[in-house]
Structure 1
């Protein structure tokens, strides 16, 4: 299992919409995430900086393939069309990233 953290900005005027979307996340999208070997997916909001921190535990063996599996799903693509305009990718993200992945530097069990 691999713990993964990521960050992205959020538009202040879209925070309420983003919260409402995630309060009633679509079952098909959640199922696809689970099928892609992701567990304990959590998103935190930090105001007033307007940052989202995402965390999940990846239980698969081919992360790129599992991410492609999610991206190929039409229902997930529809979900992203609603969530995407709420988000502001970080300027420092790596090429090809929407959310900027982070390095784990500490964990205690």
Structure 2
């Protein structure tokens, strides 16, 4: 199993809306993530910097970051772009993080 982590950036004052939208995550998006091997996915918020820290456990080679060509993912990006820092294609600005320690 592979562990992935990355950070994204929430716009100021959007914490509650971000939580609401993820609480109501679309079933077809959740299913796609599971089919892609994402078996665990957590997102944490650093409220001082509005930085989102995402962590995934993935079976296989990919992860959520490899699904950008899927229509449902592109719709999700468009839905979320008003509350997050986004790229011109609506994908969230995302920075992969290197694992430097792991304790089992």
Deviations 1:26-85 (A, max 9, x none): 110000011111121111111121110000012113x38x81xx3233222211111123
SS in 2 for 1:87: coil
SS in 2 for 1:85: coil
Confirm whether residue 88 of structure 1 aligns to residue 85 of structure 2.
Answer: yes
Contiguous gaps of at least 5 residues in structure 2: 87-91
CA distance, structure 1, for counterparts of residue 74 and residue 85 of structure 2: 18
When the two structures are superposed, what TM-score results if normalisation uses the length of structure 1?
0.79
In structure 1, what is the equivalent of residue 24 of structure 2?
24
In structure 1, what is the equivalent of residue 55 of structure 2?
55
Contiguous gaps of at least 5 residues in structure 1: 90-96
Report 1:72-83 matches (<5 A): 72-83=69-80
Off by >4 Å, runs of 4+ in structure 1: none
In structure 2, what is the equivalent of residue 100 of structure 1?
95
CA RMSD, Structure 1 to Structure 2 (Å):
2.2
In structure 1, what is the equivalent of residue 40 of structure 2?
40
Aligned residues: 99
In structure 2, what is the equivalent of residue 2 of structure 1?
2
Query: As a proportion of its length, which structure holds more helix?
Result: 1
For the Cα contact (< 8 Å) 2:9–2:93, is it kept in 1?
no
When the two structures are superposed, what TM-score results if normalisation uses the length of structure 2?
0.82
